[in-house]
Amino acid sequence: MTLKLFAYIRQHLSFPWLTVLCGALLAFYVSAYFDVAIESRQQAIFPIILVALWRAPIDSKQRLPILMVLAVFMLWLMLSVGPFVGSNTAGRPVFFAQLSDDEHGLKVRGYVQRYNEIARTYNLPAADLLRRNIDEDREANEWLSGSTVAGLLITGAPRWLRVVPKPVDYTASSSFTFGSSGIPADTAQQAQSLGLAPGVDLLFMHLDSLGFPLAASLLPEAFSVPADMPELTLHFLAWFAGAVSPLASEGDRARERAMRYAALVEAASLEGPWTTKTPLGVAYYMLATFDLMEALADGDGRRGRFDLIIKKFGDAAAYVTPMDAPEVFAAVMNNAAIAAAANAISREERNRAKAWFWKAMVVTGKDGRQVKAARTAFLNLYLLDQRGL
């Protein structure tokens, strides 16, 4: 029976195309062990299998009609590839990890599909599915640091998603480099002793009113967003990704900053029935930080301009709490304190800035440890005290 089967196959089917078919199926299953998302495997393997099945019969009369093959291919392209491909796949895309309590991955697949529909509509960075669970921010950061393409990792559970951005190298990016050169050696050494990397974890801003730089952060360390209103959350994530991922305008600093700022404005405008308004707080915090960077870069010492920046930081603080979003709250208070210090003309105003630094410094995460922005605030207080301020 077996010999007859082999004889039939050799007589009617092309051995090279059968080899291609078996090789494609083998690659599909082997690639799963290298954490390649199943959607990516399907995208790569399906056309090969389709062509192999079409060309396998030796007699052309026994093959599927070419129009049927093309129709199947186009249908697959629309239903399978379309939802998982965004319009901007260059740079560092967004990755959704497998969620806890989502055994078959149906929830996260739905999130990725809808996210990419939104991303295509507004020409924002695309998302892909990471075929593994990531339970802690530390593990997320380790994975991000080892990836050459990922810029944003979303983990968590179906009800609450955890957003972990990849730290930005401020010294290498034309968008973020600002006041990072000429940092005193003792300042850099003190930052490193706190586990903070100058130029990566810290964005140094030189304040003419003080005569030395203070440390800020443009990106939050991590934060949680509600997924019970997925449309709001996925729209926010798409615009947030547009603000933090590399853009096609890399090299044109003014244009790129304008595009990032516009994405944040869109993210901040997503009013709705949020379970928590932390996402809006993140957007306002980053907008205020961009405004602060621009004001200091322009050398604009007008109090009115800094008053508006401080007010925007106040709007951000109104949306976040140290309990719900300790990493964001500490970053808001630290950067607001820098704006207050830049605006200070009296000891009373400098004391207000120091009070905000203290408020940021005491913030701890869910594990009871100081969050990164709290350690940044400690560094700034150290710098002030070293100079008797």
- Please give the DSSP secondary-structure letter assigned to residue 251: T
Answer yes or no: are the C-beta atoms of 306 and 339 closer than 8 Å. Answer: yes
pTM confidence score: 0.74
Q: Tell me which of 62-76, 208-222, 243-257, 310-324 is least confident.
A: 243-257
Mean pLDDT over each residue of the chain, to the nearest integer? 79
Instruction: Select from 327, 336, 315 the least CA-distant residue to 364.
Output: 327
Residue 300 has pLDDT above 80, yes or no: no
Higher pLDDT among residues 126 and 102, named by residue: 126
SS3 call for 250: coil
Pairing relation of β-strands 160-165 and 94-98?
unpaired
Q: How do the residues of the chain divide into helix, strand and coil, expressed in percent and rounded to 5?
A: 60, 10, 30
Burial 238-251 (b: 16+ CB within 10 A, else e): bbbbbbbbbbebee
Residue 39 has pLDDT above 90, yes or no: no
What is residue 169's predicted lDDT score, i.e. its pLDDT? Answer: 64
What is residue 43's predicted lDDT score, i.e. its pLDDT? Answer: 66
- Please give the DSSP secondary-structure letter assigned to residue 313: H
Q: Which band of pLDDT confidence, cut at 50, 70 and 90, is reported for residue 170?
A: low
| pLDDT, tens only, 241-260 | 988 876 444 556 677 778 88
Answer yes or no: are the C-beta atoms of 127 and 106 closer than 8 Å. Answer: no
Q: Environment class of residue 237 by beta-carbon count within 10 Å: exposed (0-12), middle (13-18) or buried (19+)? A: buried
Collect contacts of 140-145 with beta carbons under 8 A, ≥24 apart: 140/97, 140/164, 140/222, 141/167
Q: What is the CA radius of gyration of the chain?
A: 26
Q: Over 22-61, what HEC string results?
A: HHHHHHHHHHHHHCCCHHHHHHHHHHHHHHHHHHCECCHH
Answer yes or no: are the C-beta atoms of 161 and 224 closer than 8 Å. Answer: yes
Residue 368 has pLDDT above 70, yes or no: yes
Q: Phi first, then psi: give them for residue 223, nearest 5 degrees.
A: -165, 160
**For residue 55, how many other CB atoms are within 10 A of its CB?**
19
What is residue 251's predicted lDDT score, i.e. its pLDDT? Answer: 56
- Helix (H) or strand (E) holding 203, with range, is strand 203-207
Beta bridge partners of 223: 163
Q: Phi first, then psi: give them for residue 336, nearest 5 degrees.
A: -65, -35
Q: Phi first, then psi: give them for residue 218, nearest 5 degrees.
A: -90, -35
Residue 312 has pLDDT above 70, yes or no: yes
Collect contacts of 112-119 with beta carbons under 8 A, ≥24 apart: 112/39, 112/83, 112/84, 113/83, 113/84, 114/230, 114/231, 114/234, 115/234, 115/237, 115/238, 116/83, 116/84, 116/85, 116/86, 117/83, 118/234, 118/235, 118/238, 119/86, 119/87, 119/88, 119/238, 119/241
What is residue 6's predicted lDDT score, i.e. its pLDDT? Answer: 59
- Please give the DSSP secondary-structure letter assigned to residue 72: H
Answer yes or no: are the C-beta atoms of 256 and 249 closer than 8 Å. Answer: yes
Instruction: Select from 117, 125, 83 the least CA-distant residue to 263.
Output: 125
Residue 5 has pLDDT above 80, yes or no: no
**For residue 184, how many other CB atoms are within 10 A of its CB?**
13
Residue 181 has pLDDT above 60, yes or no: no
| pLDDT, tens only, 335-358 | 999 998 887 777 787 888 899 999
Q: Per the structure block, which two tokens stand in for 85?
A: 């491909």
∠123-172-290 over CA atoms, to 5°? Answer: 60
Higher pLDDT among residues 369 and 336, named by residue: 336
Cα torsion 204, 354, 164, 133 to 10°: value is 130
Q: Environment class of residue 389 by beta-carbon count within 10 Å: exposed (0-12), middle (13-18) or buried (19+)? A: middle
